[in-house]
Amino acid sequence: MTLTRAGSPGFSRRGLLRAGLSGAAALAAGPILAACAGPAGTGGTTGGASAPPKRGGTLRMAQPATTAEKMMPLILPAMQLRGFQMFDPLVQFEAGEGNHGLAMMLAESITMDSATQCTVVLKPGLTFHNGKPIGPDDIVATMRRAGTEPGSSYSTAFTNVDFGATRALDARTLRCVLQSPESTFAENFVAVPIMPADYDIAAPVGSGAYRLASYVPGERSVCVRFENYWNSELAYFDTVETLTLADKSTIVTALLGKQIDLASNIPANSIPVVEAQGFRKTQYATGNNYIINMNTQFAPLDRVEVRQALRTLINRQEIIAQVYGGLASPGTDVYTPLDAAYDTTRKPPAADPARAMAVLRQAGLDKLPLTVSTTAGAAGIVDMAKAFTQQAVAAGLPFKAQELDAATYYGAGYANRPLSTSFWPGESFTSMVKKTRLPNSPYNSTHWSNERFNALYRNAMTEMDVAKRTEIFREMQDIEAAEGSMIVVLYPKLTDVAAPHIQGMAAQSMTQNVDVRTLWSSR
């Protein structure tokens, strides 16, 4: 099946017209996706600007400090803001409220020729910031490095690639050969930053709208507009300055003190404060998942009825009101709610603590002290764990919450705790399955395995028809909701805020990252 779109390189990062198919489902189905004409895909913009964008000026931003900040765009969230400024992927999620559509970036087209072969064609005339042409060898090197770079956020994306058989067909075309069927392989390229084959962290060279001018690790970076960027209609600021500050609260303080111009994903309790000072907000639903993991290696969590009882024990709306000020949707125990294959008619389990406790007492859970382990990896997740624990204790379970530092939490004991929290950003359904739900998944912290689920996944990876594959995915989701080991407590809404003169802000439901290319100043 092939879907083609005629177009030119003049479109925005998120801009992609849909014709029959959309989003990750369309890309993975085997279409050739091509750019559409004109800046598009900036749905959900705020700022009320009717005048044409102006060029010039400096945009000031900030990101939270991390323990190992370095110029490696494959490591998120440490390099998220700077990485999006300096590097483009082949394909990216569109902007917009609840949008899971995809837009071509460096790629002119990506085609699934079969379940074991994918062809990528680059746009003509692409160069890195040092003038070197972007070619197939750079894509291959990026894929390899994504799997080998310590801490890479894309470590599972390209493990199925047969690098010995993968080869360049010409200066713009790469044919990827896979070791086993993976009909959705093309979506693995979404958001992966393309780096030169000889990328050097000490002298970073990127592929994005802004090139690095100066960088002091842990303090400040300055990027300037890349004069040969492939989309000349975007990137309005001359300079983007990004500070590294201690945490989100410190970033909000810097915003209120007018040291920076915008802040993304601010804490819920800060929203009224910044609005009172005249800052404008962009608020949107996301595909993020906040989860309580139930480790099936621990009895009685190995029993389906016990896991189901824990799912109905809690009041999700109460947690959302208590921890997130109402800025979330209750989870349905199925992840990736913005994925094209997600069944939007699915409802969250109703809270029924009395019936749940009858099952849990019979299983002896009321006499088994369990710890809910958590770490501050995402806004509010520690408080979510505490709220979950409070509800469990109120119902009669001897649970307690324990906050660990990140190094300890993600260390040797990561998959050896009975109850724990996890946070996953908006990804595709298949990406989450690969990372967390299969017997060989690197982040299957619950050790859950279901033979029917696994067989369905294998079938889906050979199925090239989108509609048929969606049916398979929805049966997998039914199994997850009925027998799985994750309590998907909620899907949070995020809030970005900007000074009144900053125009072009947009909802970023999937990337959760401000697209600096669309921003400009009305001053």
Q: Which of 47, 37, 48, 42 is nearest to 6 (CA)?
A: 37
Q: What is the largest CA-CA distance in the chain?
A: 68
Q: Which residues pair with 330 in a beta bridge?
A: 490
Q: How far apart are CA 288 and CA 283, in angstroms?
A: 14
Per-residue pLDDT tens over the stretch 35-76: 433 333 333 344 445 689 999 999 999 998 876 678 999 988
Q: What is the pLDDT of residue 14?
A: 27
Of 154-168, 299-313, 413-427, the one with minimum mean pLDDT is 413-427
Distance between CA atoms of 228 and 237, rounded to whole angstroms? Answer: 15
Judged against a pLDDT cut of 90, whether residue 162 lies above it is answered with yes
* 96: nearest Cα among 328, 329, 344, 284: 284
CA-closest candidate to residue 435, choices 304, 289, 297, 306: 289
pLDDT of residue 185: 97
Token pair for residue 479? 């199994």
Residue with tokens 């990004």: 242
Least confident window among 24-33, 100-109, 398-407: 24-33
* Cα separation, 419 vs 12, whole angstroms: 43
Tokens encoding 511: 């990337």
| Backbone φ, ψ for residue 361 (5° rounding) | -65, -40
Is 180 within 8 Å of 163 (Cβ atoms)? no
Residue showing tokens 């489902």? 25
pLDDT number for residue 513: 83
Handedness of CA 273, 275, 281, 284 (dihedral sign): positive
**Strands 58-64 and 239-245, bridge-based pairing:** parallel
Cβ-contact 409, 375 below 8 angstroms: yes
- Pick 403 or 22 by higher pLDDT: 403
Please give the Cα distance from 283 to 506 (Å, whole number).
Answer: 9
Instruction: Judge whether 66 and 73 are in contact, CB under 8 Å.
Output: no
The residue type found at 289 is N
Compute φ and ψ for 215, nearest 5 degrees: -155, 125
**Percent of the chain with pLDDT strictly greater than 70:** 89
Give CA separation, 234 vs 14, 21, 38, 120, 309, in Å.
12, 26, 11, 24, 51
Q: Is 235 exposed, middle or buried (0-12, 13-18, 19+ CB in 10 A)?
A: buried
Burial-class residue 154 by CB neighbours within 10 Å (0-12, 13-18, 19+).
buried
Q: Residue 263 and residue 6: Cα distance in Å, rounded?
A: 36
CB 89 within 8 A of CB 193: yes
The pLDDT value recorded for residue 77 is 73
Q: How far apart are the first and last CA of the chain?
A: 49
Least confident piece of the model among 19-23, 68-72, 422-426, 451-455 = 19-23
Across 318-377, the runs of DSSP E, i.e. the strands, are 328-330, 370-374
Q: Helix (H, G, I), strand (E, B), or coil: what is residue 70?
A: coil
Q: What is the pLDDT of residue 78?
A: 66
Specify the 3-state DSSP secondary structure of 155: coil
Query: CA 174, 179, 181, 183: dihedral to nearest 10 degrees?
Result: -30
* Assigned token pair, 481: 């909701």
Counted residue by residue, the chain has a size of 523
Domain ranges of the chain: 289-493
Q: E strands, 80-191, where?
A: 91-93, 102-104, 107-114, 117-122, 167-170, 173-177
| Residue 97 banded pLDDT, cuts 50, 70, 90 | confident
- Contact criterion met (CB below 8 Å) for 341 and 287: no
- How large is the average pLDDT for residues 353-382? 94
DSSP assignments along 77-107, one per residue: TTTHHHHHHH---SEEEPPBTT---EEESSE
What is the average pLDDT across 88-114?
88
Per-residue pLDDT at 214: 97
Architecture (CATH level 2) of domain 289-493 = Roll (3.10)
Contacts of 324 (CB under 8 A, 6+ apart): 268, 380, 490, 492, 493
Under the phi-then-psi rule, with left for phi > 0, alpha for psi from -120 to 50, and beta for the rest, what region is 396?
A: left
Under a CB-based contact definition with an 8 Å cutoff, are residues 510 and 288 in contact? no
pLDDT value, residue 2: 29
CA distances from 368 to 360, 389, 414 (A): 10, 14, 21
